[in-house]
Structure 1
Amino acid sequence: MLEITCTRAWPPLVEESLGDWRLRWSDGFTGRANSALAVGDPGRPVPEALRAVCDFAHDRGIPPMVQVNRDSANEHAIAAAGWAEAKGHRRGHEVTVLTAPLTTAPAVPGVAVLDEPSPGWWERTLGRDEDSPAARQVLTGGKVGYGVATLDGVTAGAVRGALVDGWLHVGRLEVAPGFRRRGLASALMGAVHTWGREHGAGHAVLEVAEANSGALALYAGLGYAPHHRYRYWVPAPGSCEDSTS
């Protein structure tokens, strides 16, 4: 299942199973690594599963949240249990998952994929309010390639590629404002695609907020097509008390 591939490419610090569901914690760094992945059967009625989600989140000091495929049976059941779309999620609560076959691209001067993250890669990849030991552990988990674009001695752009089961998971593409509209985003994507092919991946997958029209246009131009969509959901106020307290 592609959702499992994606979560393995973005490994949380703590993960517990709830039937087929995955409970995830990473000290608040990103929704994907701090929510319950509600795919498959949780092994109990959904309202009971959601109470377990609440308990897991409360025990670890994060807001309860569920990631669930749009218009799935699980999403309908979560809505029926009184949860609401997480419209306040900072990076957008509605996400499109895109896939593409991998091809190699010509090398571009100044663009490379590193085996270890450089200081410049970290600077481009993490916002000032995101840098933490948890964030660094999530981003370096698994087999990862660290794409960088260097111009005039400056790390002008960065991207992350992670390998899981023949897939390349692409994320954290970022170009510094002063270096945009120079083709660096496409060059970084080409470099990480080539790296993925060289390491045995046949297809790429990435996740992008539906409101990010610029990124969607970029990826469509690179051959990506929609695979599925998911949303984040949160409990209604007062409906997610910790049953263990």
Structure 2
Amino acid sequence: MRAAAGFTGRANSTLTCGDPGMPVPDALRAAQGFAREHGIKPTAHVVNGSPPESAIESAGWRIDLDHPGGAESLVMTGPLEKFAEGEAESRDLPGWWELTAGPEVSAAQRHVLGSGDGVCFASITAGDTVIAAVRGAVVEDVLHVARLAVRPSHRRQGLARRLMGELAGWGLAQGATTCALQVAEHNEPAIRLYEELGCTEHHRYRYWIPAGS
């Protein structure tokens, strides 16, 4: 069970990846109590087609079709050596946060994106302006990629591809061999980019909420 003042769906949901050790309806009631305690919407993070999914549906929950990031997301993985080029420098710049999190950065955003060891704040700048940014975090041998963003005025210039290559180089230097990332199913340009980099779909997940929500 995860809570972060509403910043991102994953950080404010209950991950369902196995037997909760009690009847699923009881586990979902516990998740609702946790959500009330932390002031967030009760949400279950569910892998498509997993054993918990049918039990959650039978308990009266439904897919959150109004989720800001979309109802369904892909998790994609791929070998870093296929697209690594250069090595990103980690720079905790104000412009990095403004581009990836917004003009007013909350404590929750800083915690979700900045906590932990092995985190890289990679960016491309033009003068004093951050025009492209991405976050990477290495856990064991996996580079987790998130918050890839390019300013609208600088899109279609290959910056996302360049930044991913540099982040992959950084990940290799940290001992990672594989990348993992999440992308909304409707974000077709991003999916095409990741496929061109050698990433393939590993699984999909959806957010479920109580039917009366």
TM range (shorter): over 0.9
Residues 64-103 of structure 1, C-alpha deviations (whole Å, 9 max, x = no match):
0000110111001000111000011001120100000111
Corresponding letter in the other structure for 1:106: E
- 1:139 aligns to 2:118 (yes or no): no
- 1:203 aligns to 2:178 (yes or no): yes
Residues 188-228 of structure 1, C-alpha deviations (whole Å, 9 max, x = no match):
00010000000000100000111111110111011100001
- Structure 1 distance, partners of 2:152, 2:179, is 26
Whether contact under 8 Å (1:93, 1:231) holds in the other structure is yes
Aligned with residue 89 of structure 2, among 113, 133, 137? 113
Residues 6-155 of structure 1: pairs in structure 2 closer than 5 A: 23-103=1-81, 105-107=84-86, 112-114=88-90, 116-128=91-103, 131-142=105-116, 143-155=118-130
Aligned with residue 167 of structure 2, among 169, 192, 197? 192
Deviating runs (4+, > 3 A) in structure 1?
104-107
Aligned with residue 157 of structure 2, among 169, 182, 185? 182
Gaps of 5+ in 1: 1-22, 239-245
Q: CA deviation at 1:153?
A: 3.4
- 1:225 aligns to 2:200 (yes or no): yes
Residue aligned with 2:89, SS: strand
- 1:212 aligns to 2:187 (yes or no): yes
Corresponding letter in the other structure for 1:220: E
Compute the RMSD of aligned alpha carbons. 1.4
Whether contact under 8 Å (1:158, 1:172) holds in the other structure is yes
TM-score, normalised by the number of residues in structure 2: 0.95
Whether contact under 8 Å (1:112, 1:149) holds in the other structure is no
Whether contact under 8 Å (2:88, 2:169) holds in the other structure is no
2:133 corresponding residue in structure 1: 158
1:8 corresponding residue in structure 2: none
Corresponding letter in the other structure for 2:110: R
- Structure 1 distance, partners of 2:4, 2:84, is 34
Corresponding letter in the other structure for 1:29: F
Q: CA deviation at 1:113?
A: 2.4
Q: CA deviation at 1:155?
A: 0.9
Corresponding letter in the other structure for 2:106: S
Gaps of 5+ in 2: none
Identity of aligned residues (%): 48
Q: CA deviation at 1:141?
A: 1.4
Q: CA deviation at 1:128?
A: 4.0
Residues 15-36 of structure 1, C-alpha deviations (whole Å, 9 max, x = no match):
xxxxxxxx11111111100000
- Structure 1 distance, partners of 2:141, 2:99, is 27
Whether contact under 8 Å (2:76, 2:182) holds in the other structure is yes
Residue aligned with 1:43, SS: coil
Whether contact under 8 Å (2:85, 2:168) holds in the other structure is no
Count of paired positions: 211
Residues 36-82 of structure 1, C-alpha deviations (whole Å, 9 max, x = no match):
00001100010110000000000111110000110111001000111
Q: CA deviation at 1:112?
A: 3.6
Whether contact under 8 Å (1:70, 1:231) holds in the other structure is yes
Corresponding letter in the other structure for 1:205: A
